[in-house]
Chain A
């Protein structure tokens, strides 16, 4: 079964740091790009970051650029999001999502985890 399982969320004070993890199983993780998408309470979806299958490229939303870093360990089938200088407005449910159909720009984000909650207060 294709599965993504996020962890690492929690309560942190403004200015603090947190590292999220996303463990993948059931598909060749090393072959596909990965994303983080967040959803503030009662709000819509916000794309946060994308990393290519080989880590050769990474991209960020303007709201997190310079504060968040996406990375992956293909030997551990795990995606990460290092979040520094956290702000109250970073409070959200953070999803990891993959593009197992192929290139994300064409095939979209087809596999999603259930999310991990980050609260900055």
Chain B
């Protein structure tokens, strides 16, 4: 199975900060990677698909990049509503897998 390792697992940041989360795959997955945001008590929300394509309705401060084994999710200027847990998911090879999550909290 393909393992996804996110770093960091926990991040403390301030409003306005630029935030970068990394997702590394144990083998190449082309660009078959999605990013999700989950707030407490809520279902996950798709942010990015195909590694770098912004889902409709998602603010442009979110961006994704990478291919192969290394991917990043960047929030250019952290907003109060962005504090949440973020997950990457590979959809290249069954079984599809998620990273362990990165929790972004207010500093």
Interface size on B, residues (CB 8 A): 26
Main secondary structure of the interface of A (DSSP, over half): mixed
Structural contact, A45 and B101, CB atoms closer than 8 A: yes
Distance (whole angstroms) from the CB of A38 to the closest CB of chain B? 11
Structural contact, A109 and B94, CB atoms closer than 8 A: no
Interface: B81 (CB within 8 A): no
Chain B, range 74-107, C-beta contacts under 8 Å to A: 85, 87, 89, 91-92, 94-101
Structural contact, A62 and B1, CB atoms closer than 8 A: yes
Roughly how many angstroms separate A88 CA and B73 CA in the complex, as a whole number?
Answer: 34
Structural contact, A60 and B95, CB atoms closer than 8 A: yes
Interface: B44 (CB within 8 A): yes
Structural contact, B38 and A45, CB atoms closer than 8 A: yes
Partner of B46 from the list A59, A60, A62, A108 (CB cut-off 8 Å) is A108
Structural contact, A105 and B98, CB atoms closer than 8 A: no
Chain A residues within 8 Å of B, Cβ to Cβ: 37, 44-47, 50, 59-62, 95, 97, 101, 104-110, 112-115
Q: Rank and list the top 6 A-B pairs by shortest CB-CB distance, nearest first.
A: A108-B34, A108-B49, A112-B43, A105-B91, A44-B101, A45-B98
